[in-house]
Amino acid sequence: MSLPEVHLAGGTCAEALRLVPVAIAMREQGLVTPVLLAGGPEPTAVAKTYIAGGLAADVTLPASADLATALRRYDQLWAVRTPAAVVVRGDNLGAALAAYWRRVPVMHMDAGRRSGSLVADDADGDRRLLAQIATVHLAPAPLAAMNLLDERVVAGDVLLTGGTAVEAARLLAERTREPLVPRANRVQAARLLAERTGRPIEPQANRVVVAGVSAEFEEPVRAALLAITANQPDLDVFGGLTMPYPERSRLVAAAEVVLTDDADLAEEALAAGRPVLVPGDGGGLTEAIHGGSARQVDAEAGAIVAAMAELLESRVRRDSMGVAGTPYGDGHAAARIAQATAALLGHGQFPDPMPARSQAGVHH
């Protein structure tokens, strides 16, 4: 008898990176057949991210730049190849809606993460909508689980699994053996969008900082980083928002500090044991800020310069943040998610939840 197919829907590279460990865990457990889908606006990039993790996309969908198109792409696939369950992550509302309307159970990874903002271009609205249609809510941290309960999600449908960034970081580290070789010290421009320059993204200095912020913070952050690199010629700054994997993971793992308000980049840095500075109100990273592995800083050039300089000048301060680890996973989330998916389909028992307090991280 063939095993039930479970489709893992990757609509972005960040989603794909976190789905790879789940697919591996499903294969190892042998209770379901994982099928990796590469979708979203750049399905080729998503497929390449799967490859970076050692797997290949089973299905690559045509590009879909908006919700309506994404929903139609998934629906067309599932009309002829209906899975037993679908796993989505974050704010992949198109895949979740398509599955829901075909009465396919939806497993929602990283459920309950909230930034506290509902502006038109924020993903928080999609995550909240997704919470209304998901079958099982796989929360990455206790606060995320509490958010779901506050939104009247049935407690029995919420499982604290942790997120899979820790496993993904470990996986990429094992597959990326090339060391970072320091070169002659020289000042580089603070390239928040380094990937747009057309030049190879390679560290040229002894020390690395990775930065990636939303548009509202770009100007003060750029000014701050230019000031810092002017005074520290052994420092290179690289933009990390759209850098491809595993290059992004390699640089994050080598960074002394990661400056970002992007939850995905911050989560990857925390999984790699890197200290994170968060400009703005820190929304979406509350657990890490409270735990000490991330620090909120006012989105003003002077404040950013002072906070960055303090960390760059003190390895003790950096290490004290890094040792706090990540609150968003303990290295066993993928196995829990795979087990929970199989249990939903009648194979085995649901896993025990992740211990509420975890200091696990991946250090390099």
- In 219-275, the DSSP E strands lie at 235-239, 257-260
What's the pLDDT score for residue 168? 95
Pick from 78, 79, 92: nearest CA to 46: 92
What's the pLDDT score for residue 16? 97
Question: Given pLDDT bands bounded at 50, 70 and 90, which one contains residue 354?
Answer: very high
Q: Is the dihedral of CA 307, 310, 311, 316 positive or negative?
A: negative
- Whether the predicted pLDDT of 6 surpasses 70: yes
pLDDT in tens, 96-112: 999 999 999 999 999 99
- The CATH homologous superfamily to which domain 181-322 belongs is Glycogen Phosphorylase B; (3.40.50.2000)
Q: SS3 for 260?
A: strand
Classify each residue of 67-106 as buried b or exposed e, where b means 16 or more C-beta atoms within 10 Å of its C-beta: eebbbebbbebbeeeebbbbbbbbbbbbbbbbbbeeebbb
Task: Quote the CA–CA distance of 135 and 106 in Å, as a whole number.
Answer: 5
List of long-range contacts for 119-127, beta carbons under 8 Å, 24+ apart? 123/90, 123/91, 126/91, 126/93, 127/90, 127/91
Q: What is the average per-residue pLDDT within 63-89?
A: 97
- Residue extents of the structural domains in the chain: 5-164+329-344, 181-322
Question: Given pLDDT bands bounded at 50, 70 and 90, which one contains residue 183?
Answer: very low
First to last CA, the chain: 43
- Whether the predicted pLDDT of 34 surpasses 70: yes
- For the ranges 142-146, 173-177, 184-188, 202-206, the maximum mean pLDDT occurs at 142-146
Torsion of Cα atoms, 248 then 209 then 282 then 242, to 10°:
-30
Question: Given pLDDT bands bounded at 50, 70 and 90, which one contains residue 360?
Answer: very low
Looking at the structure, give the CATH architecture of the domain made up of residues 5-164+329-344.
Answer: 3-Layer(aba) Sandwich (3.40)
Task: Quote the CA–CA distance of 222 and 89 in Å, as a whole number.
Answer: 31
For the whole prediction, is pTM greater than 0.85?
Answer: yes
- Whether the predicted pLDDT of 192 surpasses 90: no
Pick from 21, 64, 14: nearest CA to 212: 14
Q: DSSP per residue over 35-61, as a string?
A: EEEE-SS-HHHHHHHHHHTT---SEEP
* CB 213 within 8 Å of CB 17: no
Task: Quote the CA–CA distance of 213 and 261 in Å, as a whole number.
Answer: 5
Question: Given pLDDT bands bounded at 50, 70 and 90, which one contains residue 190?
Answer: very low
Task: Quote the CA–CA distance of 133 and 84 in Å, as a whole number.
Answer: 16
pLDDT mean across residues, the chain: 88
Question: Given pLDDT bands bounded at 50, 70 and 90, which one contains residue 357?
Answer: low
* CB 285 within 8 Å of CB 213: no
- Whether the predicted pLDDT of 204 surpasses 50: no
Question: Given pLDDT bands bounded at 50, 70 and 90, which one contains residue 200?
Answer: very low
What's the pLDDT score for residue 173? 86
What's the pLDDT score for residue 179? 52
Share of the chain above pLDDT 70, in %: 87
Q: What is the average per-residue pLDDT within 255-266?
A: 93
Q: SS3 for 277?
A: strand
pLDDT in tens, 115-161: 876 554 568 889 999 999 999 999 999 999 999 999 999 999 999 99
What's the pLDDT score for residue 282? 83
pLDDT in tens, 275-287: 999 999 887 899 9
- Whether the predicted pLDDT of 329 surpasses 90: yes
What's the pLDDT score for residue 207? 85
pLDDT in tens, 44-55: 999 999 999 999
Is the backbone of residue 116 left (phi > 0), alpha (psi -120 to 50) or beta?
A: left
Domains 5-164+329-344 and 181-322 are alike in CATH topology: yes
* CB 55 within 8 Å of CB 90: no
pLDDT in tens, 214-231: 888 999 999 999 898 888
Q: What is the average per-residue pLDDT within 168-177?
A: 84
Q: What is the average per-residue pLDDT within 10-36?
A: 97
